[in-house]
A and B are shown apart, each in its own frame.
Chain A
């Protein structure tokens, strides 16, 4: 997008990211259904293959690399559904975004 003021270190979910991350977010959205969660858990590769993610995105999902998923157009509200299948605290996902150790993130960013 062009006519918007950039805010440092703050990605906004706009048309470019929508295009880039659509398949990833669609896969993640599908995990809102129990039958899909079961199919995903049963055979991750086969399930991911349905969504045409491309190699980089597939690798990021399989590695549970949430920072990379966001970089590739994932939106946290959708990809959080992956963390429901494979439990990961949202604060750990936050720490990964920053590239910070989880404990340090809790202390420095959240004051915990």
Chain B
């Protein structure tokens, strides 16, 4: 379904909101939010060598425009001109585009969110960034069509004695209500996310950037859930503005 949706709608740009998993950023510099303005992004070596997929063309103009709008509105990201991307961007792109031999069908605008080192941003702040993202897309000159991929695993925890924690009931609740009733998720705090979805499942709040960029009313076209993918609840929802 996600790939069919891409073929039917032929977007020009994919905005991908994701977290780096200790691959492009080390703990020497931890940006809470980072925006990519590069012309091209290579897959990063995560320890096994870079995955054999094409480089990603960057939507640099939209990236700069977004950075301009963010800072004008007192929202201050790191701006990245040269950086590689990890599986946090690669896997959602493959889910939506398949694995092309030579070229991805869309340019990408990567947005990194720190979900590893505390302080991580609040869910409300993720939502607010989505509101800014919408303003930037709507005020961007031209007629590019944009798809927004809010990413992040559903429930999972990799560390501590609660490792292997999964919460399929909460995952299903999230998938069913992120479209019609996002306010309850936006109103939760960070500890609520960690408690409900696991220490690494707090990534899920990145979906709020995508949801905050959409209309109040959305149509949910597709919902899929699988648990566990390795140690993680995995889900996909396709939504359009109503």
List the interface of chain A (C-beta within 8 A of B).
1, 4-5, 7-15, 18, 22, 25-26, 29, 31-34, 37, 70, 75-78, 80-81, 83-85, 90-91, 93-95, 97-99, 105, 108-112
B21 cross-chain contacts in A, Cβ below 8 A:
77
Binding site for A on B (CB under 8 A): 21-23, 26-27, 44-49, 116-118, 157-166, 191, 194-195, 198-200, 227-228, 230-231
Structural contact, B230 and A7, CB atoms closer than 8 A: no
Taking a contact as CB atoms under 8 Å apart, the answer to whether A7 and B161 are in contact is no
Pick from A9, A15, A111: contact of B162, CB under 8 Å:
A9
B residues in contact with A83, CB < 8 Å: 47
Interface residue from B23, B194, B200 paired with A32 (Cβ < 8 Å):
B23
Flag if A4 contacts B191 (CB, 8 Å): yes
Q: Would you give 27 A-B contacts (Cβ < 8 Å), ordered by A?
A: A5-B191, A7-B162, A9-B160, A10-B157, A12-B118, A12-B194, A12-B199, A25-B27, A29-B22, A29-B26, A32-B23, A70-B159, A75-B117, A77-B23, A78-B22, A80-B47, A90-B230, A90-B231, A91-B231, A95-B164, A97-B159, A97-B160, A97-B164, A98-B161, A108-B164, A110-B228, A111-B228
User: In chain A, what residue has the closest Cβ to B190?
Assistant: A4
* Contacts A25-B26, A78-B22, A110-B228 supplied; 8 other A-B pairs, CB < 8 Å: A9-B160, A10-B198, A11-B160, A18-B27, A29-B26, A75-B117, A84-B46, A110-B164
Query: In the complex, how many angstroms separate the beta carbon of B26 from the nearest chain A beta carbon?
Result: 5
B45 lies within 8 A of A32 (CB): yes
In the complex, A34→B198 CA distance in Å? 32
What's the Cα separation between A25 and B230 when bound, in Å?
23
User: Which B residue's beta carbon lies closest to that of A12?
Assistant: B118
* Inter-chain contact total with CB atoms closer than 8 Å: 115
Given contacts A75-B22, A93-B158, contact A110 B166 (CB under 8 A): yes
With a cutoff of 8 Å between Cβ atoms, the chain A residues found around residue B22 in the complex are 25, 29, 75, 77-78, 80
Given A10-B194, A32-B46, the answer on whether A99 and B161 have CB atoms closer than 8 Å is yes
Report Cα–Cα, A68/B210, bound state, in Å: 37
Measured between C-beta atoms, what is the minimum distance from A65 to chain B in Å? Answer: 14
A7–B159 alpha-carbon span in the complex (Å): 13
- On whether the beta carbons of A7 and B164 are closer than 8 Å, the reply is no
A10 neighbours in B (Cβ, 8 Å): 157, 159-160, 162, 194-195, 198-199
- Interface contact B118-A76, CB-CB below 8 Å: no
CA distance A10 to B158 in the complex (A): 9
Residue of A nearest to B158 (CB): A76
A109-B164 in contact given A22-B27, A80-B47 (Cβ < 8 Å): yes
Among B49, B117, B160, B163, which residue has the most Cβ atoms of chain A within 10 A? Answer: B163
Interface centre among A14, A93, A109 (most CB of B within 10 A): A109
- Asked if A31 and B47 sit within 8 Å, CB to CB, the answer is yes
- In the complex, what distance in Å separates the CA atom of A10 from the CA atom of B118? 13
Within 8 Å by CB of B118, from A15, A26, A95, A99, lies A15
Shortest Cβ gap from A26 to chain B (Å): 7
Q: Are B116 and A77 in contact (CB under 8 A)?
A: yes
- Which listed residue, A5, A25, A32, A97, touches B158 by the CB 8 Å rule? A97
